[in-house]
Homo-oligomer: A and B are copies of this chain.
Amino acid sequence: VPLVRIDVFEGRRTPEQLRLLADTVQDVMLEVFAAPPRDRYQVLAEHRPGQLICEDTGLGLERTDDLVILQVFQQGRSEEQKRALYAGLAERLETVTGLAPSDLIVSVVGNTREDWSFGLGRAQFLDGDL
């Protein structure tokens, strides 16, 4: 279910590094966000200089051009699962890809089980397929 938009600056990562970033995000989805196997829907976009503008809401965080903005559209996760997602992403992305935890921004949007069709024109959550 999670549909994840990944926005980064262009020119900072090779295609292989971008893939590792996306793979690592997905690993965390599977491990701490209760996504079932093969539940992967990711849209990556690379932006030219100036096209991502992120400050820090006064939190004292330093942003660099390695910045990653994740927008996660999902249904049904609890507050605890979201906390685990944020912590898991920061820890794993730092370990695997070297991303500074201060360069990771995550925003979640919730919808409901009737809001998803994974193919064939069906509403798999409502039809008992999932």
Chain B nearest CB: distance from A2 CB in Å? 10
Cα–Cα, bound, A12→B102 (Å)? 34
A69 touches B3 (CB 8 A): yes
Q: How many copies does the complex hold?
A: 3
Chain B nearest CB: distance from A124 CB in Å? 6
Residue interface mask A102-130, B partner, CB < 8 A = 1 = 11111111111011111111111010011
A47 touches B45 (CB 8 A): yes
A sample of 15 inter-chain contacts (CB < 8 A) reads A19-B50, A37-B58, A38-B57, A39-B55, A40-B54, A41-B69, A44-B50, A59-B118, A61-B119, A82-B115, A83-B123, A89-B121, A90-B117, A101-B120, A108-B114
